[in-house]
Chains A and B, each alone.
Chain A
Amino acid sequence: MQADIFAKKKRNTLAFLLLLGALTILAMIITEYNVLKGFTSIPKAIQWGMANFYPTAESLEKLPVILDKLQETLLVSIAATTAAAVFALLFSIFGSNTTRVNAFFGAITRGIATVFRNIDVAAWALILLFSFGQSALTGYFALFFGSFGFLTRAFTETIDEVSGGSVEALKATGAGYFSIIFQSVIPSSIPQLISWILFMIETNIRSATLIGLLTGSGIGFTFNLYYKSLAYDTASLVVVVIIAAILLIEYASNYVRKVIL
Chain B
Amino acid sequence: MAALLEVNHLTKQFGKDSKALTDVSFSVQEGEFVSIIGPSGAGKSTLLRCINRMIDASGGEIRFQDHHVMDLKKKELKQVRTKIGMIFQHYNLVNRLSVIENTLHGKLGTKSTWAGVLGLYSNEEKKQAIQILNVLGLNEMIYKRADQLSGGQKQRVGIARALIQNPRMLLCDEPIASLDPNSAKVIMDHLKKVSTTMGITVVVNLHQVDVAIKYSDRIIGINKGQVVYNGSAKALTSEDIQRIYGSEAEDLIFDIGGIHAG
Contact = CB atoms under 8 A, between A and B. Distances in A.
A6 B130 contact: no
A2 interface: yes
A6 B143 contact: no
A43 to B, nearest CB: 30
A5 interface: yes
Nearest to B121: A6
A63 B100 CA distance: 65
A2 B130 CA distance: 9
B107 to A, nearest CB: 13
Interface residues of B, number: 9
A3 B127 CA distance: 10
B126 interface: yes
B22 interface: no
B58 interface: no
Interface in B114-150: 119, 121, 123, 126, 130, 142-143
B98 interface: yes
Contacts, number: 14
A2 B123 CA distance: 9
Contacts of A6: 119, 121, 126
A5 B130 contact: no
A1 B139 CA distance: 13
Interface residues of A, number: 6
A5 B143 contact: yes
A131 B16 CA distance: 70
Interface in A114-131: none
A97 B147 CA distance: 32
Contacts of B143: 1, 5
Contacts of B123: 3
A250 B212 CA distance: 56
Interface in A38-53: none
Nearest to B104: A6
Nearest to A2: B126
Nearest to A9: B119
Interface in B178-222: none
A1 B143 CA distance: 9
- The 5 A-B pairs at the shortest CB distance, nearest first, are namely A5-B143, A2-B126, A5-B98, A2-B130, A5-B100
14 contacts: A1-B143, A2-B100, A2-B126, A2-B130, A2-B142, A3-B123, A3-B126, A5-B98, A5-B100, A5-B143, A6-B119, A6-B121, A6-B126, A9-B119
Given A2-B126, A2-B142, A5-B143, 11 more contacts: A1-B143, A2-B100, A2-B130, A3-B123, A3-B126, A5-B98, A5-B100, A6-B119, A6-B121, A6-B126, A9-B119
